[in-house]
Amino acid sequence: MNLLIKSATIIDPAGPFHKQNLDILIEKGIIKKISNSIKNINNFKEISLENLHISQGWFDSSVCFGEPGFEERETIENGLNTAAKSGFTAVAVNPNTNPIADNKSAIEFIKNKANGFATALYPIGSLTKNAKSEDLAELYDMQNSGAIAFGDYNKPISNANLLKIALLYAQNFDALVLSFPQDNSIAGTGLANENINSTKLGLKGIPTLAEELQVARDLFLLEYTGGKLHIPTISTKKSVKLIKNAKKKGLNVTCSVAAHHLVLSDDELKEFDTKSKVMPPLRTSKDIKALLKGLKDGVIDIITSDHNPIDVEHKKVEFNNAKFGTIGLESLFGALNKVVELETLINCLTTNPRNRFNIENSSIKEGEKANITLFNPDSEYEFKLNNILSTSKNSIFLNKKLNGKVYGVISNNKLVL
């Protein structure tokens, strides 16, 4: 693939050309030249787009595709094409398939299905067999087959001793353990954040305590065992404080936040719209403020879409019966671009998650593979059904104003616009 990118503003905080507006020549998928003005002497395909900005290719650390088992929600093929058009050159895919991805064969099936796309797929293996929080899965075998981390998606490890053993065992092969932050004995059958809104609406509440107890427990275990822990999709003010203190102690812990938890509060529930039913639940404006500060201060390392397609039969039902989850690949950038400072946002989508999940990290400079996301940070629009590329349409941002348009990606020697 040979390309000439014209007049692009480079957002690459760790690279040599940060905030410079330059031309970029790409030959056979490699960045050959970066300069003020490059003449197209070889008649390469030229990319010249309005207010074009580029960065390292974005990596989403928490994505669900249905395949195998729930292809009606999202196939791997459509999911990867959606990710590419949404600016992601790599995604980590959760193991909540049917059957659960808890063994070597399941990981290899998912990897093989993802060959040949612009967006690279990295499987996350289930930490426990069948995600039942009873016995550890075949972690070492799965890692050898391509799994980059281990966790039970949106299911807490209720047995503290099991997580202790997992953290100890995983150190033998330097594996990353994920632990979903919720204590189900406190959360029970809750549907929404326990607060004035859930009380007014008559919805069973999930208190912030359910998250914070689990985070505190997991950090105690990590302090005891050592190892590497990642806490996905935190949502409360106190969780930020707990992780901040753990990092000060020198514990090897990181955490992520889902895009919707940085923008939307539990006020969204007033319409009983099941698109707003997510896990963890939408919290309060005070929590949003604390999460944004946690990002700015570097306590929160990673931003994810937490993309979770749900078919219409399990979403367009009564609030009590609807499944938790929202799609988010297509809307992440536009939802956060004016809420989170651009450099912080790019870091939390590139360097930070790639380093934590041990994925190849490339800067925008001559001689590097072209792994690039193309976007316009100043494009305002209303997010409508026709902006959704996923098979499922359960977007929490539907009909909301977004700011920032993704043009596509250059990755794996392919251009997707």
Which residues are catalytic, by number?
A: 306
Report the helix count and the strand count for the chain, using DSSP H and E: 12, 18
Nearest to 375 by CA among 11, 81, 82, 4: 11
Answer yes or no: are the C-beta atoms of 170 and 135 closer than 8 Å.
Answer: no
Q: Which two tokens stand for residue 14?
A: 């760790």
Q: Rounded distance, CA 110 to CA 121, Å?
A: 8
Contact 285, 277 (CB under 8 A): no
Q: Is the peptide bond before 68 cis (omega within 30 degrees of 0)?
A: yes
The CA–CA distances, whole Å, from 8 to 47, 93, 326, 368 equal 9, 31, 32, 17
Closest-CA residue to 396 (of 295, 306, 287, 320) = 306
The tokens for 224 are 């005891």
What are the DSSP E strand ranges found in 187-272?
Answer: 192-193, 205-206, 228-231, 253-258
Sign of the CA dihedral running 71, 98, 234, 139: negative
CA 175 to chain centre: 19
Q: How many residues does the chain have?
A: 417
Say whether 26 sits in a helix, a strand or coil.
strand
Tokens 């997580």 sit at which residue? 163
Token pair, residue 208, equals: 């912030």
Q: What is the distance of C-alpha 333 from the center of its chain?
A: 12
Looking at the DSSP assignment, which residues form a beta bridge with residue 56? 372
User: Which has the closest alpha carbon to 416: 117, 24, 183, 151?
Assistant: 117
Q: Which residues contact 303 (CB under 8 A, 6 or more apart)?
A: 256, 257, 258, 259, 262, 295, 332, 336, 340, 345, 348, 349
Query: Percentage helix, strand, coil, to 5, in the chain?
Result: 30, 25, 45
